[in-house]
Amino acid sequence: MFHPTILSQNAQDFWESIRDLYTAIIQHPFNRELAQGTLSRDRFLYYLQQDALYLLDYGKALSILAARSETPERRRDFIRFASGIFTVEEGMHQIYFTEYGVKDPIQTKSPACFAYTNFLLATVSLRSYEEGVASILPCFWVYREVGLSIYRGMVKPNPYERWIETYAGNEFGEATERAIEVLEETLLSASEGTRNRMLQAFLTSTRLEWLFWDSAYRLEQWKP
């Protein structure tokens, strides 16, 4: 299990801004039942299929930030993030799809997935680079904290143990630390106005994280 390092004050301020939202995410029935191993297969499979669609666009968002980065180091960071998404997390999806006999995953995004990916792509493309950096961070940071929280309290054996261990593991934890460092570095040169917009982007993405889990629990469909 990964052990996070001590945050800088800037990063701590960002985390404190979403603490109530994080609590709501941890307490959501999807994650409580995931930890207990009682989450229905239908809900988990719905989540996995939507997550696969989400990650395709998340990888695009990371690639756009790589192209917009002004230093080779930062370009390499975002390229590595995108590569990790496609190799580690997509591999996990395929393992579960094979186990569940899913040959043709859903190709239509749920309303929550659609809202989240479009927000990310619009932000990294049309807003400031700094806001883009803040918008992609909850997918790392919130997931790591959720993974660690669930790992500490999960019931074993657990049918979702592979998912839990991925987000509580060292590889994802180290990538998250690096993403937080990018945020911290970006904040050092940000004006007060830019910092406030970054905070809003970070908050919006975190709200959409909650909505993504809630959507999976409700097996959300488009209406009408």
Domains in the chain, ordered, with CATH?
9-217 (1.20.910.10)
Q: Does the structure show a pLDDT above 80 at 87? A: no
Residue 157 has pLDDT above 80, yes or no: yes
Question: Can you give the pLDDT at residue 141?
Answer: 96
What is the crossing angle of helices 29-36 and 129-153, to 10°? Answer: 40
- Look up residue 41 and give its amino acid: R
| Average pLDDT score, the chain | 94
pLDDT one-digit tens code per residue, 20-35: 999 999 999 999 999 9
> Measuring CA to CA, which residue among 221, 207, 212, 172 is closest to residue 48?
212
Task: Work out the pLDDT band at 3, boundaries 50, 70, 90.
Answer: low
**Which pLDDT belongs to residue 114?**
98
**CA distances to 8, 127, 142, 183 from 25, in Å:** 24, 27, 9, 22
- Give the CA distances from residue 8 to residues 3, 61, 185, 187, in Å, rounded to whole numbers and listed in that order: 16, 26, 11, 11
pLDDT, tens digit (0-9, with 9 covering 90-100), for 117-134: 999 999 999 999 999 999
DSSP annotation of 87 reads I
- Alpha-carbon distances of 119 from 24, 64, 72, 86, 219, rounded to whole Å: 21, 14, 26, 20, 21
CA distances from 92 to 48, 72, 82, 98, 160 (A): 9, 30, 15, 10, 11
Q: Using CA atoms, how far apart are residues 140 and 81, in angstroms rounded to an integer?
A: 10
Of all helices (H) and strands (E), which one includes residue 99?
helix 90-100
Q: What average pLDDT does this structure show over 176-181?
A: 95
Cα 59 to Cα 56: distance, rounded to the nearest angstrom: 5
Q: What is the mean pLDDT of residues 79-89?
A: 84
37-67: per-residue pLDDT in tens? 999 999 999 999 999 999 999 999 999 999 9
